[in-house]
Amino acid sequence: MILIGPFSQIITMGGLPLCGPLKDDALVVIPNGGVLVNKDKIVALGSFNTLRKKHKARLVEITGPACLLPGLIDAHTHICHAGSRANDYALRVAGKTYLEILKQGGGILDSVRKTRAASRKQLCQTLSERATHALRSGVTTCEVKSGYGLTVDDEIKMLEVIKSVHKDHPVDLVPSCLAAHVKPPEFDTHKDYLNFVATSLLPVVVKKKLSRRVDVFVEEGAFSSALSRPYLQRAAAMGFDLIIHADQFSTGGSRLACEVKALSADHLEASTDADIRALAKAGVIATVLPGASLGLGMPFAPARKLLDHGCSVVIASDWNPGSAPMGDLWTQAAVFGAAQKLSTAETFAGMTFRAARALRLHDRGVLWPDMLADMQAFPCKDYREILYHQGQLKPNRVWKKGVLIVGEKEKL
Ligand SMILES: [Zn+2]
């Protein structure tokens, strides 16, 4: 057993509701706090001096100012991919349209070509490097989608790569099958392709236990609601949780998410007031992705409205090679929170316990007894310094399952 502390403040994120607005004075903040950890779990939290007197534990002393938070949970990423799309980005900022970039060989299919050509070893290495980068920013759990393979073999290759890096890397990776990302050129119609995925790929994913989540990009040019509905119903019948890339450029996806009882609807930049009311009523988690707005130079999702209507709002990075290449969740969330007028509590919640629920994880996202000791500490006395520095203040210590991975004696 180890006692870690003293921390200037421990922000537990405990005792807060899963949905709706949050005020900062609802945060449970322990001053001069300590955390008692046994193996991978938190045993107790409280006053450092009291814990020190009460328990015989090895002391891990924290010197200097330190604010402790739960490790971040990034609930939407595409960090398993090969190659860069810097060319697309340069063309986009110079004013080229999506279609013009596509004609010049860019877009998602460019990442598909590069990912298909990459070996498992290469994909494992780049995924592992990105997971390490995320961990240094305090991310201790990260969802990762397939969707750059689009054949049975290449989608399975991606999901097996995610599984293998999950096993070897300190960050927990949660895999999602996004074979319905875009129609590959080998198929004539979107309908034929979705039928192929449902009959030839998803049963293999189930058999090999590679993912419990099915995601679809519902959008003009990707997959329509009409075609996605039966696909998602088939996936649900196989036991998958449903996720939808919804309302990014046009509406319809979030309505479908409500209809098929999806776990989350992600993006929502284009959602209307009626869509927002429907999401709140259906209890579909609203995952917003400020990194995509920043990468595309487009408006943010209406998080303030979503919260005020009673939704559970999760903030994720959408880290991907095309629209969201930044991959820095703290920076994105801080800038987003300033634009959308989110309280610190709402921004923290969107990346901790509310994000955990978007991945159906009940053992993390809160610093509380019996929870995993996934934690990050910032070199400051006051937790409000963290968002104030808009991503420039990084955690100087990160623990995964009770082990200090980032810090004085780094394990990376
Ligand atoms: Zn995405």
Domains observed in the chain: 2-70+364-406 (2.30.40.10), 73-358 (3.20.20.140)
Judge whether residue 327 has pLDDT over 70: yes
Mean pLDDT score, 197-208 = 98
Q: How far is the CA of 56 from the centre of ligand 1 (A)?
A: 47
Q: 3-class DSSP state for residue 127?
A: helix
Distance 126 CA to ligand 1 centre (A): 18
Residue 266 Cα to ligand 1 middle (Å): 8
Task: Give me ligand 1 centre to Cα 318, in Å.
Answer: 5
| Beta-strand relationship, 2-11 and 403-406 | unpaired
Across all residues in the chain, what is the average pLDDT?
96
pLDDT tens-place string over residues 301-310: 999 999 999 9
Spacing, Cα 178 to ligand 1 middle (Å):
9
Q: Which of 138, 80, 136, 139 is nearest to 111 (CA)?
A: 80
Q: Give the model's pLDDT for residue 97.
A: 86
Confidence class for position 184, pLDDT limits 50, 70, 90: very high
Q: 176 C-alpha to center of ligand 1: Å?
A: 11
pLDDT tens digit string along 132-174? Answer: 999 999 999 999 999 999 999 999 999 999 999 999 999 999 9
Say whether pLDDT at 408 is over 80.
Answer: no
Report the separation in Å between the CA atom of 29 and the middle of ligand 1, taken as the mean of its atom positions.
33
Q: What six digits make up the tokens of 374?
A: 């996934």
| CA 78–ligand 1 middle distance (angstroms) | 6
State residue 222's pLDDT score: 93
Q: In percent, how much of the chain has pLDDT > 90?
A: 96
Angstrom distances, CA of residue 230 to CA of 92, 203, 256, 260: 34, 16, 11, 9
Q: What's the gap in Å between 187 CA and the centre of ligand 1?
A: 22
Measured in Å, residue 100 CA sits from the centre of ligand 1 at 21
Cα-to-centroid distance, 142 and ligand 1 (Å): 13
> Could you please report the per-residue DSSP string of 277-289?
HHHHHHT-EEEE-
pLDDT exceeds cutoff 70 at 409:
no
pTM for this one?
A: 0.97
The CA-based dihedral angle spanning residues 277, 279, 285, 287, taken in that order and rounded to the nearest 10 degrees = -80
Give the pair of three-digit tokens for residue 6.
């003293």
Instruction: Kindly give the distance from the C-alpha atom of residue 3 to the centroid of ligand 1, in angstroms, as a whole number.
Output: 39
**pLDDT by residue (tens digit) across 26-36?**
999 999 999 99
CA of 317 to the centre of ligand 1 (A): 9
* Cα–Cα distance, 352 to 364 (Å, whole number): 8
pLDDT for the residue 99? 75
Residues 68-126 have pLDDT tens digits of 999 999 999 999 999 999 999 999 999 998 778 877 878 999 999 999 999 999 999 99
Q: What is the pLDDT of residues 55-82, one digit of tens each?
A: 999 999 999 999 999 999 999 999 999 9
pLDDT given for residue 105 in this prediction: 79
- pLDDT for the residue numbered 98: 77
Say how far apart CA 291 and CA 268 lie, in whole Å: 13
Under 8 Å CB-to-CB from 7, ≥6 apart: which residues?
30, 32, 33, 34, 35, 48, 62, 66, 67, 68, 377
